[in-house]
Amino acid sequence: MVKQTIQIFSRVKPTKAKIGLYEIDEDDSGSPRLTFTVPKDLAVGLVNNKKENYKFRFQRVFDQKTKQEEVFEHVGQPVVDNVLSGYNGTIFAYGQTGSGKTFTITGGPEKYADRGIIPRTLSYIFQQFEQNPDYVYTCHISYLEIYNESGYDLLDPKHESSKLEDLPKVHLMEDSDQNIHLKNLSTHQANNEEEALNLLFLGDTNRMIAETPMNQASTRSHCIFTIHVSSRQAVGASIRRSKLHLVDLAGSERVAKTGVAGTLLAEAKYINLSLHFLEQVIVTLSEKGRSHIPYRNSMMTSVLRDSLGGNCMTTMIATCSAEKKNIDINHIPEYNLNMRFTGKAVIITGSNSGIGKATALLFAREGASVLIHGRSLETIEETVKECKDVGGKDAKFPFVQGYVANDDVIMKIKDTALNTFGKIDILVNNAGAGNVLNLSTGTMQNFQETVNVLLRAPVQLSQVCLPELKQTQGNIVNMSSIFGIRPNDLVSFYCIAKAGLNMFTKCAALEFGALGVRVNALCPGCVPTPIYKKSGFTEELTEAFYNANRRIAPIGKNGNVEETAKMIAFIASDDASMMNGECIVLDGGTSLCGLDSKAIEDATK
């Protein structure tokens, strides 16, 4: 059995001169620790308003002097041993472009000693075959390239002489047992190390590579080299099958830093989005009690589904470069997904509490200037202060107090943003309103008040901000609800307004999209916020609502404002540049099951 299924290593890219920007030591528990120092005066066009030292723990940290042989001994060999014992495994290298991933996984072409993990794995596997005469082994190899979320067979003989668009694409197919099969991906038997290496070299020759400002030979695709091993005892009939995925991920990169455009820009967006989905899977696997793992979000995670988690052995080696030109605080995890919004101007209505406040703080931490809006001056001022505490020194946080359904307040929000920021990049229509009223108990005045805040105000504010959003090629995120998709007889007015907001999102996406402005909606489920109390929910009813959702949701829990804010930020970021007109459900599966007054009533018993 596999004793430890997930291991994480780090490797500092070898350089000609010793660099003093990092240190390797041990923490108080004796675990290896890598510390990076980012001086505040680092002269690479970088403003560091935060702390200077960042500490990370790993199973092992490989210094610049570490040889390829030692890396394989600690990273590759344990996984290969488990594969030979019948368990699936995955080894992948992750890091920003130019940090040494391909060198670590594949190796350098000049010296035999520079062989990377893949060629050393092939050599080790065939050595083990020879040393175990009691078993009969067979080895098959496939080599998949995922470029712009489309799969291609790197071992297709037509690859070298054909244009990419003329090559057959690899398609995912799922059988009745939910096993993934890859149509148009060939597998080749390798009878010895030489044949296996020839397949590796053929695939590497066909990879998508381009020069970028950060890397003269930047791999623009994710490549999965898979070794399929079958074994049976010489005197037995049962066959044991396993496979090892060796993954060379395309380098993550900040588009603003690399300055790429055209095809390279499109590639970067696909690369970053697929890496985001891989991150989601790994984070979910690390959380106990999560029954649903989002493997299907991308081709890469779908392919790796049976080799991540469970009793499979997964090893990641995080590569990093200590050269000054590569030191980027935007790639440090504590900077919350790469400071995506540095220099951006954001309007968030209803940002003085709940989801809106969490979103404002997240944007502030990631470098944005944010206009804060709400009705309570006290909570507005608290939010502004907290944003200033976590935001950059050049960020600005003006505020507007008032009822968002008021025409004058709408215009004041826009004018204040323009006078302070000079532009508008992102509009988050988040201001909320609700009441415990349905069609039987509510009045038309109640209905009008609900619609004014939840539908009329987002439409009006989006219209008046459109000229500025068009100039910046910005985007709009509307905060909707699962109750805009699935009705609830307790809050019918709210459901009707949110359903209208969803349709506005789609209509606006059609019209505004042609102008370069994306429009999307987020539909969260039960997220405990002050809105319930403000909407007339009694304490008992609020608790019943929370409990009912926990019982019904397949994952057995309610949402939270921080997680919801992260999804808003993702939708608003360049990583979601292909997303337009979507009403994205974030409810843990509650909308699949239903949450009506009967379910809430049962929760009080």
Binding site listing: 95-102
In angstroms, the CA 82 to CA 87 distance is 6
Q: How would you write 489-501 as a 3-class SS string?
A: CCCHHHHHHHHHH
Q: Is 576 exposed, middle or buried (0-12, 13-18, 19+ CB in 10 A)?
A: buried
Beta bridge partners, 209, equal 219
Tokens 């470069």 correspond to what residue?
321
Task: Quote the Cα angle for 570-495-560, to 5°.
Answer: 40
In angstroms, the CA 457 to CA 454 distance is 7
Contact 19, 68 (CB under 8 A): no
Torsion sign over Cα 567, 573, 576, 581: positive
In angstroms, the CA 143 to CA 155 distance is 6
In angstroms, the CA 89 to CA 228 distance is 11
Question: Which of 36, 38, 31, 37 has its CA nearest to residue 9?
Answer: 31
In angstroms, the CA 440 to CA 443 distance is 9
Torsion sign over Cα 542, 544, 546, 552: negative
Q: What is the largest CA-CA distance in the chain?
A: 86
In angstroms, the CA 379 to CA 374 distance is 8
In angstroms, the CA 323 to CA 38 distance is 11
Beta bridge partners, 212, equal 215
DSSP character at residue 335: G
Question: Which of 545, 450, 431, 541 has its CA nearest to residue 493?
Answer: 450
What's the distance, CA 313 to chain centroid? 22
Residues making up the annotated binding site for ATP are: 95-102
Contact 268, 276 (CB under 8 A): no
The terminus-to-terminus CA distance of the chain in angstroms comes to: 46
Q: What is the CA radius of gyration of the chain?
A: 27
Tokens found for residue 401: 């107090």
In angstroms, the CA 482 to CA 602 distance is 20
In angstroms, the CA 49 to CA 295 distance is 37
Amino acid (1-letter code) at residue 277: F
In angstroms, the CA 313 to CA 336 distance is 28
**Residue 279: count of CB within 10 angstroms of its CB:** 13
Q: Which residues contact 80 (CB under 8 A, 6 or more apart)?
A: 89, 121, 124, 125, 128, 244
CA dist 271 to 95, 220, 239, Å? 12, 8, 38
**Residue 580: count of CB within 10 angstroms of its CB:** 18
Residues in the chain: 605
Q: How would you write 87-115 as a 3-class SS string?
A: CCEEEEEECECCCCHHHHHCECCCCHHHE
